[in-house]
Amino acid sequence: MVVDAVNAVLGSPLGVDMIGMKKVPGGALQESMLVDGVAFKKTFSYAGFEQMTKKFDQPKIVLLNIELELKAERDNAEVRVDNVAAYQQVVDAEWDIIYEKLAKIVASGANIVLSRLAIGDLATQYFADRGLFCAGRVADDDLKRMAKAVGASVQTSCNDLNQGILGSCALFEEKQVGGERYNFFTGCTQAATATIILRGGAEQFLEEAHRSLHDAIMNTRRLIGNPSVIAGGGAIEMELSAHLREYSRGIYGKLQLLIAAYAKALEVVPRQVSANAGMDSTDVLNKLRMKHAHGGKWMGVDVVNNGVCDTFESFVWEATVMKRNALAAATEAACLILSVDETVRNPSSQQPDANGASFGGRMRGRGQMAGRGRGRGRR
C-alpha cells in the first residue's frame, strides 16, 4: 500500500505532500485502504444535509474561503431607524446579500461546494433543493490538496465565479468507513494524489501505525530515488563490526582502540533489536559473530523465529543511502562531543534555591545576634 501511494505521486512536483493519511478507529489494520484521490471525513452539517446528492459523475467543484451563513450582529453594534419599514429594509438587505452569494454559486455551474469556513443551515438547504453538495469547515490541508488535485483555485469572493476557476474529478461519492462518513474524490487528473485510511482498534495503536507509515513513506521515497538496498535486522552492523575488528588488529597505537570501540558500538543495534523481541541478546550476538566470521555477511536477527537468519533472503531491507547517512551523522555527533575537552561548572548554580538559602541564612544570623544583644541589655 505504501509503495502504491508513493508511486501514485511519483510524478508530482509536490511529492509525498500529496499523500494524506486519515485515522478511523475501529476494525482491523488489514481493513486499511488506499484511495486514489482525496478523501476526508464528513464535516459538521446542518438540517437539509441528508437531502443532498451523495454521488456525482464528472462533477464541477468550487473551493471557497467564504462564510455562507447569517452572522449575529456585534454586541456593540447600533442601527438607528425612525420607523418599522426602515428596520425591515435592514433585515431584508442581510438576507439579500447571502441569497445573492448562493445564486452566484449555483449559476457558476458547480455541483460541489467546499468551503474552509462555515456553511449554515440556510445555504445547506438552498443547495440541497437545487441538487448540489456542500461541505463547510473543511480542513486547510485537505482543501489545499483538493485545489492541486482537481485543478481549482480557492476563491474569497462570489463575484467572479466562472468555469476557469472550477475543478473536476471523475467520481465523487460519500461512503461509510467504520463509524464515520467520508467524502471520496477519485480520478483527479490535474495532480497525482492519494489518501491512506488507517483502521485500528485503539487510538494509541492508530498513532503508532501513523508514525510507522510516515517512516515507511519517507524510506520508500528515498529508495526510489536511490535504488540500492542492504540487509536489515542488524546484519550490516555486524558485518561492519567484524570488518573493523579485523582491520584494527593490524594497526599499532591508540588508533587500534578507537576502531575497536567503534566496532563494539555497532553491535548495539542487533543487541537492541533482539532485546525488543524478547530474545537473549548475548546468545544472539554470539551466533551472529560466529556466522559473520564464516562469511555469512547478511545474517541478522530473526524476530519471527527467535534466532538468526539471512535477512536479505527474508526481505528485511534498508536503503543504503539512509544507512550511510545514519552512520555519518552518528560519527559526527560522537566526534563533536569528544572535541569538548573541558566543561566549567558552578556548583552553586546546580541548586535552584542556593542564593535564597544563603540570603535567608544571613538574615537569620543577624536576627539571632540582635536578639542576644537585647537580652544582654536587659540583664
Both 175 and 108 in a single domain?
Answer: yes
What are the φ and ψ backbone dihedral angles of 20, each rounded to 5 degrees?
Answer: -100, 150
Does residue 365 register a pLDDT over 90?
A: no
Both 240 and 218 in a single domain?
Answer: no
Per-residue pLDDT tens over the stretch 48-58: 788 888 899 99
Last residue of a domain, one of 203, 225, 247: 225
Flag whether 265 is in a domain: yes
Flag whether 194 is in a domain: yes
Q: Tell me how far apart the alpha carbons of residues 61 and 111 are, in angstroms, rounded to a whole number.
A: 6
pLDDT at site 359: 46
- Mean pLDDT for the chain overall: 84
Both 24 and 146 in a single domain?
Answer: yes
Per-residue pLDDT tens over the stretch 300-351: 999 988 889 999 999 898 889 889 999 999 999 998 888 887 766 767 766 6
From first CA to last CA, the distance across the chain in angstroms is 95
Flag whether 87 is in a domain: no
Both 190 and 242 in a single domain?
Answer: no
Does residue 289 register a pLDDT over 80?
A: yes
Both 148 and 12 in a single domain?
Answer: yes
Q: Tell me how far apart the alpha carbons of residues 312 and 233 are, in angstroms, rounded to a whole number.
A: 9
Both 127 and 275 in a single domain?
Answer: no
User: How many CB atoms neighbour CB 281 within 10 A?
Assistant: 18
Both 17 and 124 in a single domain?
Answer: yes
Does residue 368 register a pLDDT over 70?
A: no
Report the side by side order of strands in the sheet with 19-25: 19-25, 194-200, 33-35
Q: What is the count of structural domains for the chain?
A: 2
Does residue 160 register a pLDDT over 90?
A: no
Both 277 and 165 in a single domain?
Answer: no
Contact 161, 199 (CB under 8 A): no
Flag whether 263 is in a domain: yes
Last residue of a domain, one of 225, 256, 288: 225
Question: pTM above 0.85?
Answer: no
Both 22 and 168 in a single domain?
Answer: yes
pLDDT at site 344: 66
- Domain hosting 263: range is 230-338
Q: Tell me how far apart the alpha carbons of residues 268 and 251 are, in angstroms, rounded to a whole number.
A: 24
CATH number at residue 299: 1.10.560.10
Does residue 369 register a pLDDT over 50?
A: no
Both 54 and 197 in a single domain?
Answer: yes
CATH number at residue 124: 3.50.7.10
Both 215 and 296 in a single domain?
Answer: no
Q: Tell me how far apart the alpha carbons of residues 337 and 330 are, in angstroms, rounded to a whole number.
A: 11
Does residue 131 register a pLDDT over 60?
A: yes
Both 96 and 126 in a single domain?
Answer: yes
Flag whether 54 is in a domain: yes
